[in-house]
């Protein structure tokens, strides 16, 4: 059983999978709060995530992201959306694996490039997608897919599925009523 100060559910997945959209809806369905580690990073840095990348560099962003993940896993008892690349940090990955082995639910929101493209809007400021955003997104997913798969207790497809339905599917999975 998870401790009362640990998240009820942790959402992981690639940019555009729907973590920040589905998360608040899922939190409402579960009657808990929502927290997004990207928002925590921006708050800690005093600037937006793209500004952290540009002004301070990716290593500083990843450091702030790791701190945000570790803090939220110990202090938040609702739905937690974890930045897509946070799973690549060894400390974050270890903490997420420990959370899951302790009974925590990690849900991988799966999405294809075709669906993510419309959601991410490859013309928006996504620092990890600079250059050729479609190729960068695909490369990120290929790198992260094995880690998402290893950490997740559940995988839910978000392609062409309304966010409210994705949230309902997650609740069904958590209750053992898979699709």
* CATH classification of the domain holding 64: 3.40.50.300
Residue 3 inside a domain? The answer is: no
Is 16:143 a contact under the CB 8 Å cutoff? no
| Tokens (6 digits) for 11 | 């959402």
Residue 60 inside a domain? The answer is: yes
Average pLDDT, 10 consecutive residues per value, the chain (179 residues): 76 89 97 96 93 90 96 96 92 96 94 62 48 66 86 92 96 83
| Model pLDDT, residue 142 | 78
At a CB cut-off of 8 Å and minimum separation 6, what does 39 contact? none
Q: Which domain holds residue 57?
A: 9-174
| Model pLDDT, residue 171 | 97
At a CB cut-off of 8 Å and minimum separation 6, what does 30 contact? 8, 9, 78, 79, 171
Residue 31 inside a domain? The answer is: yes
Residue 30 inside a domain? The answer is: yes
**What is the count of structural domains for the chain?**
1
Give the global pTM: 0.87
Residue 36 inside a domain? The answer is: yes
Cα separation of 130 and 50, whole Å? 11
Element (H, E) at 22: helix 19-30
Residue 131 inside a domain? The answer is: yes
Residue 1 inside a domain? The answer is: no
At a CB cut-off of 8 Å and minimum separation 6, what does 75 contact? 5
| Model pLDDT, residue 131 | 52
| Model pLDDT, residue 107 | 97
| Model pLDDT, residue 44 | 96
At a CB cut-off of 8 Å and minimum separation 6, what does 159 contact? 110, 111, 112, 114, 115
Residue 4 inside a domain? The answer is: no
């Amino acid at each position: 059983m998870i401790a009362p100060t640990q998240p009820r559910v942790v959402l992981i997945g690639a940019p555009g999978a729907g973590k920040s959209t589905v998360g608040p809806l899922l939190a409402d369905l579960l009657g808990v709060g929502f927290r997004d580690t990207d928002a925590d990073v921006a708050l800690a840095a005093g600037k937006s995530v793209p500004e952290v990348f540009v002004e301070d560099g990716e290593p500083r962003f990843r450091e702030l992201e790791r701190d945000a993940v570790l803090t939220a896993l110990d202090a938040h008892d609702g739905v937690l959306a974890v930045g897509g690349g946070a799973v690549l940090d060894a400390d974050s990955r270890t903490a997420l694996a420990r959370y899951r082995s302790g009974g925590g639910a990690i849900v991988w929101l799966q999405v294809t490039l075709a669906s993510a493209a419309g959601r991410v809007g490859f013309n928006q400021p996504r620092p990890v997608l600079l250059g050729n955003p479609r190729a960068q997104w695909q490369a990120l997913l290929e790198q992260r897919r094995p880690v998402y798969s290893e950490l997740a207790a559940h995988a839910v497809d978000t392609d062409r599925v309304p966010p409210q339905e994705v949230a309902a599917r997650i609740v069904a999975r958590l209750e053992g009523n898979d699709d």
